[in-house]
Amino acid sequence: MHAATLLLALVATVVAVPSPIAPATGSNDLDSRALYSSLTSRGRGPVTLKLSRQEPSATVSRRDLLQNELDHAARKYLPFLSAEKRAAAENHLAKRTVPLTNWARDLQYNVAIEIGTPRQTFNVVCDTGSPDLWVMAASCQSEACSDMTTFDPSASSSYANVNQTLYIGYGSGNVSGQYGKDIVALDSSTYFPQEFGLGIDVSVPNFSKRNTQGILGLSWPVAGHPDPFWYNLFQDGNFDENVFGIYLKRSSLSASSNSSDANGGEITIGGTDSAVYTGDFNTIPLQNVNETFWNIPLDSVSINGAAISMNGSKSMIDSGTSLIYTSQSNADEFYSHINGSTIQDNAFVFPCNSTHAASFTFGGVEYPVFPYDMTPLVNGDLCYGAVQVTSLPFDTQWVFGDAFMKNVYTKFVMNPPAVALAKLADDANIKVNNARCGRPLTR
């Protein structure tokens, strides 16, 4: 029983124990209990693997990438909105026609997984804000699948069909196809039978620009969807701890805008990696034990010394989102404390020479955010802020994506359900030399 730390790449129901996969003709019997036995016989200590950072194509402008990120966030939570809020959100999306500038680095964190026998490798989004594991299918003819690695079920001797249709709506786009079941491997010692989606029609706009072939959902189970992989892994007591930890490493300002970095962060399954954090964890219980998302109460927000009470506002920790999102009223109050703030191209901007010292308090502990992370890009003398507006599901008031998570080590706890935050070790908390604002604009 051990923790297995997975490779990452950078660019955000009813409980059931996994049953044996029905093997293809002539294949070996892939019994789930035998697999778990193999897993648990390999030792109890954590296994830490280096991560890699993978950037978008050099042909993708930062303007398109930021527009894609803002639209993606707006669509991501649409299926969970009330009819009234969904209509308003879709209307807002339709109005957002002016493209914004975005940055290449720290855009998205991916994990490399392998599926099938023999194994086929995919880079998928490490996403604590959604439940499904899905990858592009070989039969996908969508533009998003062009020149991408796709999963071929006929090439895997361990693949089995599942009589269930895949459909994930994103407002103006969707992913549809079917579910299947196969062996999913996270490293040489962590592999298991898992239901996952095969995206046959991937019509999410600009998805291919994210250099990814799917999503690894790490949220809680959702009715009508297969249980998430982490949830299945923890059912049989295979690990010392039913937790997983995430460290998102900040990129260097001096790095090329389209470079690759072999050390982009890590996810640890079944434990945490004490080498990248220091001190004790601040454990914050989820606000509802039946949560779909990793929602915890936010005590307060501080911007340039002004404290704004949030009175325990429900806040989602979402590694599949690049920025920090909130309601219009919260954003208005936040930016009222930054001199010169205004809205440009449907996004909050402010003069780069304005002070923008921000922190967020959870569980009675204040967590400062490095200024570089609060200003993800610059256009002349204007900086685009990391706090932006979108419609959020249920009564969620904030979504804390990578811009916040890069400043802490985050542990996700199964039982009792909680999120725990720890201070990053000095060596893990990479500080860039110029934090005046974000990355220079390249058109």
pLDDT score of 34 more than 50: no
Q: Whose structure tokens read 């003069």? A: 351
The CATH number assigned to the domain with range 96-239 reads: 2.40.70.10
CA distances 387 to 6, 96, 113, Å, are 29, 17, 31
Collapsing DSSP states into helix, strand and coil, what is residue 183? strand
Active-site positions?
127, 318
The model's pTM is: 0.80
pLDDT for the residue numbered 320: 87
pLDDT score of 423 more than 70: yes
pLDDT for the residue numbered 238: 76
254: number of Cβ within 10 Å:
9
Size (the chain), residues: 443
Give the range with max mean pLDDT: 29-43, 171-185, 210-224, 309-323.
Answer: 309-323
Domain ranges of the chain: 96-239, 274-424
CATH 2.40.50.140 assigned to domain 274-424? The reply is no
The whole-number average pLDDT for the span 306-316 is 96
Tokens of 269: 């399954």
The candidate with the shortest Cα–Cα distance to 128, out of 414, 371, 439, 435, is 414
Looking at residue 229, its amino acid is F
Q: Give me the helices (H) in 96-222, please.
A: none
Using one digit for the tens of pLDDT, what is the confidence trace for 63-79? 555 556 655 555 555 55
Handedness of CA 92, 94, 95, 101 (dihedral sign): positive
pLDDT for the residue numbered 156: 98
The whole-number average pLDDT for the span 336-359 is 94
For residue 80, what pLDDT band results from cuts at 50, 70 and 90?
Answer: low
pLDDT score of 139 more than 80: yes
The candidate with the shortest Cα–Cα distance to 383, out of 430, 330, 347, 433, is 347
DSSP E strands in 8-54: the ranges are: 8-10
Please give the mean pLDDT across all residues of the chain.
Answer: 77
pLDDT score of 269 more than 60: yes
Q: What percent of the chain has pLDDT over 90?
A: 49
CB 265 within 8 Å of CB 249? yes
The whole-number average pLDDT for the span 88-99 is 31
Using one digit for the tens of pLDDT, what is the confidence trace for 244-266? 999 998 876 544 455 555 567 88
pLDDT for the residue numbered 140: 96
pLDDT score of 308 more than 80: yes
Do domains 96-239 and 274-424 share one topology? The answer is yes
pLDDT score of 199 more than 80: yes
CB 427 within 8 Å of CB 344? no
Q: What is the Rg, in whole angstroms, of the alpha carbon atoms belonging to the chain?
A: 21
Which residues, 6+ apart, have CB-to-CB distance to 83 below 8 Å?
none
